[in-house]
Chain A
Amino acid sequence: DQQVKQNSPSLSVQEGRISILNCDYTNSMFDYFLWYKKYPAEGPTFLISISSIKDKNEDGRFTVFLNKSAKHLSLHIVPSQPGDSAVYFCAASGYAGGTSYGKLTFGQGTILTVHP
């Protein structure tokens, strides 16, 4: 049962354009969502997060949008740079009587390639 899904395995974008990465979730108990960037054989690097009480959060070139009714979030990167090329994971967590402590549920990742 995959509770967090990233349906696009890969995305290719030209430098300077917008990159939009998408993520869907099924568990309505999730209340905190994060995006991580990852290079092979390295640990994920935290990019940006959003709480379920918000629908948008911005940090520099990165903006995350949350649509709770659709159980959908997206990460926008503007403008995209070649250094953004990596695997992007969305992750979710939620309080459910204490059983969710420290647990992030990850999507399968999207490989972003930004061409110069």
Chain B
Amino acid sequence: KAGVTQTPRYLIKTRGQQVTLSCSPISGHRSVSWYQQTPGQGLQFLFEYFSETQRNKGNFPGRFSGRQFSNSRSEMNVSTLELGDSALYLCASSFVGPSTDTQYFGPGTRLTVL
């Protein structure tokens, strides 16, 4: 069974631009979570989607948004990029996303904001 895939793997943008990252979950998984990893803050939860609905959201500004499609694929968007948005963005999928459901991660998208 194929794992979680993320595209693109690397991105370079400039301040003020916007970016869209894509995530395809493991087949059969319906919950997709997004995380940001930075050296200073570690792995931080962004949001979670299930059946095209956002069920949970972390403590990030409204510039960070996401959506999920009927096939469970998910995208996240960051608008008006700031230098501090440079990070590794990870998505993870699980079957239905209750607290005892294991999340499996994709390889991540490395975003660099210049």
Contacts and interface: CB of A to CB of B under 8 A. Distances in A.
Interface of A: 31-32, 34, 36, 41-46, 49, 51, 89, 91, 93-95, 98-109
Given A43-B90, A49-B102, A95-B98, 4 more contacts: A41-B110, A43-B4, A102-B97, A103-B56
Contacts of A42: 107-108
A64 to B, nearest CB: 13
B7 to A, nearest CB: 13
B106 to A, nearest CB: 5
Contacts of B6: 43
Interface of chain B, main secondary structure: strand
A61 B108 CA distance: 27
Interface of chain A, main secondary structure: loop
B100 A51 contact: yes
A68 B93 CA distance: 27
Contacts of B88: 41
B64 interface: no
B54 to A, nearest CB: 10
